[in-house]
Chain A
Amino acid sequence: MDRAREPLDEGPGFGGEPVIKTLEELLNLPDVKQHISEENSKRIENHLAGKSEASSIQRALQGIGAWLSAIFFLGFLGVSGLLRSDASMLTLGVILLGASVGLERGLRSTFVTQLALALAIAGNCLAVVGFTELTDADLGTGILAHGVIGSVVYVFHTNSTYRFLAAAMLSLFAQVWILESSSKFWMFHVYVAVHVALIGWLFFRGTDRTELRPLATAAVIMLPYSMVVLAWRQSWSYRTLEIEHLLLPSNAIIVIGLALLLRHVVREQGWFRRRSNQVVLLGLIALGVFTTPGVLVAIGLLALGRACSIGWVTALAHAFLVAFIFQYYHSLDIDLSYKSLVLAGSGLLLLVVRRFLVTKAGPHNSS
């Protein structure tokens, strides 16, 4: 019996052409290779090797070691009685930060780099807590203090792990402060706008600014995380029409960001004039209005991870997409029977769209 085979499921490639799966294979194509000198070929090889798995593992170990060390060191300071007052906390924090920057810029070894990172983490915590306690400030002022301290140290401290942690913690604290009460909820849209702009600019315009890459990484992780927190808080404390209405500005910001991202990825002139792309855009707007903005964020990250070939971003996007879809259906104010119909209907809709796309692609046509 003949079995229907979809073009997607054919063996490698479309129309018998070999599939090029890696950047190295692309650069080895005759048309390309003739323009690359022997010397540049070696340099490209070294450049790609520099983004190796070993360096990622080393950075992860560095981060874990520094975190552990900082926690135990802070515990030591607390138990030993060295921190006699809020002023001493602030002073010691600043000293540790200074020492960290000095070590980072001075000696170069794995141990010293990790020590510098641990001192930076411990110093940052001490300085912020010391300042907040000394001035008897509220959470907002404490966040501002962290922002100032983190920004200054960011400029001088070259360790990408510290830079990422400083940015991520600032985002986390800001989110906690904003969601503290509904009177500050309007700031959440500013928060979303800043993160969307940072992600867009840093991944597509400012890619030569390697010192800002930790900032981009923090934005990619904290934006969907804040959506998860907001969605779950909504489900048990804010579940009113008023709050849903207030989310529309964030939805709009994310839709615009996603549309610009897709346009950049597709890279066609007059992207918005094509009928099929207008349908995609309308679909995205509908998705943003009728579900949670988190779904749009996750889709955006999927597209970003795919376009920039960053595996961890794609994996993170999948995890968050599942979380947002689960949260959305869980929070629907209907009984399980209707929910199951909505779920099954959504699944069928996606499968129908897929079937349509496969049919449109034709048996050996990838366009």
Chain B
Amino acid sequence: MRPTVHALEELHREGLLSDEAFDAARESLPAVDQGSRADWGRGLLLVYGSVLLLAGVVFHFAFNWQGMSKFAKFGVVEFALAACVACAWRKGFETFTGQVLMVGASIMTGVLLAVFGQIYQTGADPYELFLGWSALIFGFVVTSQLAGHWFLWLVLLNIGLFLRWEQAGVPAEVAYEWSCLQLGALNGLALAAREWCPARGQSWLGSAWLRPMLVSGVLIPMTFPLAHCVVEADDITLLRGVIGMAWFGLAGGLYWWYRDKLPDINVIGLVIFNTAVILLIFIGDVLLEPLNWDSGWLLAISIASLAVMSGSGMWIGRVSRLMKARDSEVNP
């Protein structure tokens, strides 16, 4: 919890801080709070200022598109890209300004690819744009060492893989389960990198918010085939069945790892919620629907929702208490 006047007042009001303790903490606060407040304000100005400037450049380019020669189009974009990289180098790649500029360079790379595709009418599919974009900016991502930049790169990869199935896979009658498997594997690798790299000097990958996002990126695509198996149990393909079964191993593995090895209640919550959703689909479709209860089905699923979600809540509470007990044993 951040140290703020508001937090101290709450503790004082609850009788947890004496008047002397409150005054002493309050006096220590300005040196802490004011500096961090100034940092935060300047960081906001940098991010929003950069985004607005970049958006202005992109829209100006879009407006004048028809009237510009192809060399002018390339020139503007390449100049912007080079300027971002040069300014980032000048400022220092490890500074926040430098990192924001490298993100700008990544955005301009995407614009350059779009311009290239438009001018030369390459006939490339959009998924090729996204995958090419991801490949080209990988160097920028590694140089900037910014978790948000890396996440953006992952998002581009995910979009590229999904579009690849949609634009190339569907016409060739490739099963959607392959796309699910690829997305799950990609995000799984990213999750492994997030856990492995910080211990090896890449602390920039250790941002707390990355973990639940990546776990969601692994669980969600792997859930669809299993849910499909449950809903259409009489039409299960081999691939769908295998991925469906793999979900159990995946969920169990994540649960074990983030309960015992790297305790994280947010990930446990995600796994439990994912399990609850699958369970509800199973109860509704496999257990209750064959009974042909009409309106009774609605009442039964209503009660089942309560039971499953409250059970999930109790489960999370139990795991949380276990983690705290273990933590207090290790750090008395």
B-binding residues in A (CB < 8 A): 3-6, 8-9, 13-14, 17, 19-27, 29, 31-32, 34-36, 40, 43-44, 47-49, 51-54, 57-58, 61-62, 64-66, 68-70, 72-73, 75-76, 79-81, 109-111, 113-115, 118, 204, 207-208, 267, 302, 306-309, 321, 325, 335-337, 339-351, 353-354, 357-358, 361, 366-367
Contacts and interface: CB of A to CB of B under 8 A. Distances in A.
A207 B10 contact: yes
A72 B314 CA distance: 22
Given A23-B1, A52-B320, A76-B299, A340 B306 contact: no
Interface stretch (B92-100, B156-164, B213-221, B243-251): B92-100
A337 B11 contact: no
Contacts of A353: 45, 49
Interface stretch (B20-28, B120-128, B173-181): B20-28
A336 B62 contact: yes
A341 B316 contact: no
Interface string B119-146: 0000000000000000000000000000
A75 B308 CA distance: 19
Given A47-B11, A309-B4, A347-B49, A5 B42 contact: no
Q: Which 7 A-B pairs have the closest CB atoms?
A: A65-B309, A344-B56, A347-B53, A347-B52, A350-B49, A343-B56, A340-B60
A44 B293 CA distance: 53
B37 A357 contact: no
Contacts of A47: 11, 14, 16
A302 B44 contact: yes
Given A23-B7, A40-B16, A54-B317, A69 B28 contact: no
Given A40-B16, A348-B49, A14 B35 contact: yes
Contacts of B227: none
A66 B91 contact: no
Contact of B313 (A4, A61, A335, A366): A61
A351 B57 contact: no
A208 B13 contact: yes
Interface of B: 1-11, 13-14, 16-18, 20-21, 24-25, 27-29, 31-32, 34-46, 48-64, 89-92, 94-98, 265-266, 269, 273, 276, 280, 294-296, 298-299, 301-303, 305-314, 316-317, 319-320, 324
Dominant secondary structure of chain B at its interface with chain A: helix
A73 B294 CA distance: 13
B96 A8 contact: yes
A307 B50 CA distance: 25
11 contacts: A36-B17, A53-B266, A73-B298, A110-B314, A337-B64, A340-B58, A347-B48, A347-B51, A347-B52, A351-B46, A354-B46
